Amino acid sequence: MERSTIVRVHEGLHARPATRFVKLAKGFESDVELIKDGKAVSAKSSVKLMLLAVKENQEVTVRANGADAIEAIEALIGYLENPRAGLDDESEAGEGGSETAAVAPASEPVAPAAASADGTPKLQGVAASEGVAIGPAFAHFPPEIEGPGRHLQAGEIESELERFRGAVASVQARMDRTLAENNLAAGDRGIVAALRDIAADDSLTGEVERLIKGGDDAVSAVIAAAATIAADFSAVDDHYLNARADDVHAVGGQICLVLLGQDEVSLETIPQGAILIADDIGAWDLARAPLKRIGGVVCGHGGATSHIAIIARSHGVPAVLGLGDKINELRAAKEVAIDGNAGHVIVDPDGATRSDFNKRVEAAAQERAGLKVFKSVTPTRADGTVIEVAANIGSLEEIEAAQEAGAMGVGLFRTELLFMRHMHLPSEDMQAETYSALARAFAPHSVIVRTLDIGGDKPIAGIEFPDEENPFLGWRGIRMCLDRPDIFKRQLRALLRAAVHGNIKVMLPMVSEIAEVTRTRALVDECATELKAEGVPHASFDLGVMIETPAAVLIASALAKEVAFFSIGTNDLT
C-alpha cells in the first residue's frame, strides 16, 4: 500500500531529518520505500534517502509492504508533514544551526582578496562562521590514507569481509560512546548520529563488500566506495548535499584507520587560542575536539553548509573554509588572523595588522562580557520594585537562548507557531508536553502563554477561515476560539495540565468585550472539572488579556476587574 503527501520538513530531508526518518522506518518490519518523481529508494537507507534530494514542499509517496504497513505509512507520513521533524536540537533552531545558509559552492576557485590598506595580502575563502581571531597556527595535515592495492586470493575474501565488518562495528561503537557523553552539545550530537548512520548504511557497506568479493583489499574498497558515493552527492544540484560528500569521506577515513590499525585523529594537543589549519577535517574529529581552546578554523575544503561550519557556528568559533589549494600557503605559517565575517585569512600578519585584530578581538570580548554582566543584575526601580524582563518566544528551541540571555520567564509564548508547524491540529498531549516543558524550564518565573491567535491572514490546517476584507479584525483570536470549543478546550486542558509543572499564565488575544472573558472562564472551569473526573493532574492559572483593540481600550477598567493582568499591544494600537 502507499500514500502521497507534501513534504513539510523544514528545508527537506537533509542529514539529520533523514537520519531520524530512517530510524523511524527501521522500527517497522515492513519493507518501506520513499518515491519522488518516479524514483523509489529504501526508506531504511539514509544515504539513498539524501541522494533522492527531497526538498520542502515537494510531493513524495511512502510505499510499504508487510504486516505493519499501515502503521509504518501513518508514522512516516506524519513525520514528513512535520516542519520541525529532525530539528529538535536547539542549535538548529537558530542561525547557529542552520544547515542551508546561502553560500557559494566551496569548489569555486578562490583567489587572493584585495590587499588591505596597509598592503597586507589576504586569502579569500568562504565566510562560514562569524567572528575574528588571531593566534598561533596549528597545522593539521595528517598523511593521506592509501590502500595497499593488493588483490585478494579466493581464500582470503571471507576473512577480509569479517575484518571490514569488525572495523565498521568499531567505528559505530566509538560514535556510540561519544553520543553517550553528557557534555556533547545537542547540535553536535545530531551530526555525530548522522555520521554513525552513514557508517552503517547499506549503500556504503554494500558497495565495499561487493568490491571485496571482487578481490579488492578492505582499505582500497572503502576508499573506492566512499569516493563513488561522495561523487554522487557532489553531482546533485544542491549545495547542502554537495557538502555531505565530505561526511562520506570522513566516515570512510575512520573505517580505514581501524583497518590499518592506526590511531584516530585527535586534536587534544591544540594550544589555547590556536587557529586550526587543515586541508580537510571530519565533523567527527571536530565534534570531539576541545572547542573552547580553538581560536578559529581554516580549511581548504568545506563551505557554510558543511557540518564543520555548523559545529563552528554553534560553538562561536570563527571559521573560514573552502580555500582550496591556497590552504598550502598556511602549512608553514606561525601566526594566522582570520575574519569569519568576510572570509579573510591573513598569514603571519605584520605588526599593524596584528594590532588591529587584537583590538577587534578584545572589543568583541568586552562586548560579550559587558552583556553577560546583565544576566546577574536584577532590574529594579528606584523604589525597589523588581521589573521582570522576560523573553518573547514561539518554540521550545528558543528556550536556551532566552535563558543564556538571562530571561526572567516568558512574557509571550505564541502558540500559533505550534499549530502552524503541523498539517493537522496538534493533540492535547502534544500541547501539554510543549507547555509543560516551558513551565519547567523557567520555573519559578512565570510563562505567559497566549491562546491561539489565528485568522485568515495566517491560516492553519484543520481550520477553514471565511474570506474577509480585513482578516486582522475579523474571525480570529478569541472570537474564533470561542466559536470552535473543540479546538479551544483542547488547548485549555493542555494548559491546565502544564500548570502543574510551573508558573503558567494564560493570555487571551483580540478581546473586545467582557463576555469573551466570562465565556472563557466558564470553559476553563468545565475543562478543570473534566480533568478532575478523569484523574488527570492539573492546576489553575491566572487569566489575562491583550489590550490590542480600540474596544478593549474603552472597557479596560471593566476588564481589569475580571482578569489578573494586561498586556498592551502597542504595535496594534498605534
- pLDDT one-digit tens code per residue, 180-204: 776 676 667 778 888 888 888 888 9
Assess whether 494 and 529 both reside in one domain. Answer: yes
**CATH no. for residue 204?**
1.10.274.10
**Window from 77-91, 308-322, 347-361 with minimum mean pLDDT:** 77-91
Neighbours of 509 (CB within 10 A): 27
CA-to-CA separations, 183 to 270, 271, 290, in angstroms, rounded: 19, 21, 11
Whether 373 shows a pLDDT value over 80: the answer reads no
By C-alpha distance, which of 84, 32, 34 is closest to 61?
Answer: 34
Q: Could you read off the pLDDT of 158-178 as tens digits, one per residue?
A: 999 999 999 999 999 988 888
Q: Is residue 14 part of a domain?
A: yes
* pLDDT grade for 250, boundaries at 50, 70 and 90: confident
* Cell numbers standing for residue 177: 560512546
Q: Could you read off the pLDDT of 517-573 as tens digits, one per residue?
A: 999 999 999 999 999 999 999 999 999 999 988 899 999 999 999 999 999 876 666
Mean pLDDT within 273-296 = 88
Q: Could you read off the pLDDT of 109-142 as tens digits, one per residue?
A: 444 454 554 556 789 999 999 899 999 999 988 8
Q: Is residue 100 part of a domain?
A: no
Name the domain count of the chain.
Answer: 4
Q: Which of 260, 292, 313 is the last residue of a domain?
A: 260
Sheet (strand 2-6) strand order: 2-6, 59-65, 31-36, 39-42
* pLDDT grade for 508, boundaries at 50, 70 and 90: very high
Assess whether 336 and 395 both reside in one domain. Answer: no
pLDDT of residue 186: 62
Assess whether 451 and 545 both reside in one domain. Answer: yes
Q: Which of 198, 227, 260 is the last residue of a domain?
A: 260
Q: Is residue 93 part of a domain?
A: no
Percent of the chain past pLDDT 90, that is, above it, reads: 45
Q: Is residue 382 part of a domain?
A: no
Q: Is residue 225 part of a domain?
A: yes
CA distance 210 to 218: 10
Whether 179 shows a pLDDT value over 70: the answer reads yes
C-alpha torsion sign, points 395, 400, 405, 410 = positive
* pLDDT grade for 88, boundaries at 50, 70 and 90: very low
pLDDT of residue 94: 38
Assess whether 440 and 564 both reside in one domain. Answer: yes
Mean pLDDT within 37-44 = 90
Assess whether 428 and 543 both reside in one domain. Answer: yes
Which conformational region is residue 552 in: left (phi greater than 0), alpha (psi within -120 to 50 degrees), or beta?
alpha
Q: Which of 218, 233, 260 is the last residue of a domain?
A: 260
pTM score: 0.52
pLDDT of residue 375: 79
Whether 36 shows a pLDDT value over 70: the answer reads yes
* pLDDT grade for 297, boundaries at 50, 70 and 90: very high
pLDDT of residue 19: 81
* Cell numbers standing for residue 69: 504497513
Assess whether 449 and 329 both reside in one domain. Answer: no
Q: Name residue 392's amino acid.
A: N
Assess whether 456 and 538 both reside in one domain. Answer: yes
Q: Is residue 95 part of a domain?
A: no
Provide CB contacts within 8 A for 103, sequence distance 6+: 126, 128, 239, 303, 304, 305
Q: Could you read off the pLDDT of 484-499 as tens digits, one per residue?
A: 899 999 999 999 999 9
Assess whether 481 and 549 both reside in one domain. Answer: yes
CA distance 88 to 19: 13
Whether 106 shows a pLDDT value over 50: the answer reads no
pLDDT of residue 103: 37
Assess whether 234 and 338 both reside in one domain. Answer: no
CA-to-CA separations, 179 to 30, 149, 192, 252, 382, in angstroms, rounded: 28, 34, 7, 19, 50
Q: Could you read off the pLDDT of 437-462 as tens digits, one per residue?
A: 899 999 999 999 999 987 644 556 55
**CATH no. for residue 363?**
3.50.30.10
Whether 465 shows a pLDDT value over 60: the answer reads no
Average pLDDT score over the chain: 84
For residue 397, what is the DSSP state? G
Residue 237 three-state SS: coil
CA distance 342 to 357: 13
Assess whether 548 and 422 both reside in one domain. Answer: yes
Q: Is residue 265 part of a domain?
A: no
Q: Is residue 254 part of a domain?
A: yes
**CATH no. for residue 553?**
3.20.20.60
Assess whether 182 and 325 both reside in one domain. Answer: no
Domain that holds residue 75: 2-87
Assess whether 474 and 567 both reside in one domain. Answer: yes
